[in-house]
Amino acid sequence: MVGICDLKPEDQLLLNCSLTLLSGENIKRIKQLTNQDLDWNYLIDLAYKHRLSPLLYWHLNRSSPEAIPSNLKLELKEHFHKNVQKNLMMFKELLEVVDILQKQGVVPIPYKGPVLAILIYKNLGFRIFGDLDFYVPIEDVPRTRDILVNEGYEPWEKLTSAQEKSFYKFQREYHFINKLTGINLEIKWKFLSTLIPTSNEPVFQENEFFKEVNLDQFKVKTISPEYLILILSIHNASHAYSSLYRFSDISELIKYCSNIKWEYLLKIADDWGVKRIFLINLKILRELFQIQLPGDVLELINNSNVDEVSKDIVKRLFTSKPRGVLEKVVFHSNLREKRKDKLKTILIMIFLPTPGVIESVSLPWALEPLYYILRVFQMVKNVFTNQ
């Protein structure tokens, strides 16, 4: 496994600044690294790429302000304050959406975004997010859609009634944009990625899965942070572990939670066939973020044959080498433990109709299987265009 010492000084500096609270050792290491001859343009670009520029600015400005080139320091400062303003506006909109839907009998569950920023990071400006995520039970989705449209939100997907039925079946989220503020919403009826085929999400019906929390004196219902560790780990894998901020989210959650029921989380992961996915997250978090894990979990990680894939993920985090279409299929299938799950993942990636495929043509129920063929055509096109 590639170690943190094998990374560039700039990579190490970003990692040391990607924590909410710095230890004395972190501050010492930041000062050591900023005394070196750094490629500051590379560092700033890397921070933007991984949505960690707010934390980089915050910690450098306190630990080694004199080390930052003046023009880049001003750029980081302006970017930080613009992000704070944007996040405040998005938090306000989150509360408004919750209020609007609740008044009409729908209970949305916001998570990620502002919820993480306030609850876990303790600072709305520390995290960059591009949209607002809400979970709504599938039976409430049509009504939620109508309410949002009446409130001025425009759906990205322009669907007929037949297309909507197929969309509910094959996909897991609707996208909306507020035509006045430009803020994007995602309304999800499934927490798990479509790459993780499960017939249902039974654990999500348990009372302890949801928790009422205070967000800056406002009470909202969200996912219990302990369960969110697993949800975000699966989400991270669905994006091929491609961004450091997703690891940072999980790292901060683990530090936030006390008395994590690791055995129970691992059992859920095993039941869903995503135990390997979960362990890869924990392996990399241990390597890059030095999170503390119980001895039995560490032993499980060490005996799980995840070193090579974890090493490849870490290398790609700090390079711009993208995976091709077929390489993505192989990668995601290799994340699963069982042959049947590997095969399901391959079939999903090749045949599952994407939003674009469903939106391209309205098919009656009897012809719905044609969406699979259209998806294959799209896949072949992507292979040749390397998209």
Give, as one character, the DSSP assignment of residue 323: P
Sorting pLDDT into bands at 50, 70 and 90, what band is 187? very high
Q: What average pLDDT does the chain have? A: 91
pTM of the prediction?
A: 0.93
Q: Could you tell me if 243 and 291 are in contact, meaning their C-beta atoms sit under 8 angstroms apart?
A: no
Residue 164 lies in a domain: no
CA distance 43 to 53: 9
Q: Which residues contact 214 (CB under 8 A, 6 or more apart)?
A: none
Residue whose structure tokens are 């009470």: 219
The whole domain housing 80 covers 4-136+189-352
Residue 157 lies in a domain: no
Q: Could you tell me if 229 and 265 are in contact, meaning their C-beta atoms sit under 8 angstroms apart?
A: yes
Task: Measure the CA dihedral 77/82/88/90, to 10°.
Answer: -140
Residue 141 lies in a domain: no
Sign of CA dihedral 279, 281, 285, 291: negative
- Residue 2, pLDDT score: 45
Q: What is the pLDDT of residues 210-244, one digit of tens each?
A: 888 888 788 889 999 889 999 999 999 999 999 99
Q: For residue 111, how many C-alpha atoms fall within 13 Å in the half-sphere facing its CB?
A: 27
- Residue 211, pLDDT score: 87
- Residue 258, pLDDT score: 84
Residue 3 has pLDDT above 60, yes or no: no
Segment among 18-32, 197-211, 258-272 with least mean pLDDT: 197-211
| Cβ density class 216-250: b for 16+ within 10 Å, e for less | eeeebbbbbbbbbbbbbbbbbbeebbebbbbbbbb
Q: Could you tell me if 18 and 289 are in contact, meaning their C-beta atoms sit under 8 angstroms apart?
A: yes
Instruction: For 187, list phi and psi in degrees, rounded to 5.
Output: -105, 115
Residue 22 lies in a domain: yes
Query: For 155-162, what is the mean pLDDT?
Result: 91
Q: Which residues contact 23 (CB under 8 A, 6 or more apart)?
A: none
Instruction: For 214, list phi and psi in degrees, rounded to 5.
Output: -95, 120
Percentage of the chain lying above the pLDDT 70 cut:
95
Sorting pLDDT into bands at 50, 70 and 90, what band is 297? very high
Residue 199 has pLDDT above 60, yes or no: no
Answer with the residue of higher pLDDT: 380 or 203.
380
Sorting pLDDT into bands at 50, 70 and 90, what band is 205? low
Q: What is the pLDDT of residues 31-82, one digit of tens each?
A: 999 999 999 999 999 999 999 999 999 999 999 999 999 999 999 999 999 9
- Residue 293, pLDDT score: 94
Sorting pLDDT into bands at 50, 70 and 90, what band is 353? very high
- Residue 271, pLDDT score: 87
Residue 377 lies in a domain: no
Q: What is the pLDDT of residues 365-387, one digit of tens each?
A: 999 999 999 999 988 887 777 65
**Ramachandran region, residue 216 (left: φ > 0; alpha: ψ -120 to 50; beta: rest):** left
Q: What is the pLDDT of residues 87-145, one digit of tens each?
A: 999 999 999 999 999 999 999 999 999 999 998 998 999 999 989 999 999 999 999 99
CA distance 251 to 319: 22
Q: Could you tell me if 46 and 8 are in contact, meaning their C-beta atoms sit under 8 angstroms apart?
A: no
Query: For 11-25, what is the mean pLDDT?
Result: 94
Residue 276 lies in a domain: yes
Number of domains composing the chain: 1
Residue 366 lies in a domain: no
Cα angle value 329/264/212 (rounded, 5°)? 95
Q: Could you tell me if 59 and 17 are in contact, meaning their C-beta atoms sit under 8 angstroms apart?
A: yes
Q: Which residues contact 331 (CB under 8 A, 6 or more apart)?
A: 240, 323
Percentage of the chain lying above the pLDDT 90 cut:
79
Residue 85 has pLDDT above 70, yes or no: yes
Residue whose structure tokens are 């990374």: 7
Instruction: For 245, list phi and psi in degrees, rounded to 5.
Output: -65, -30
Residue 263 lies in a domain: yes
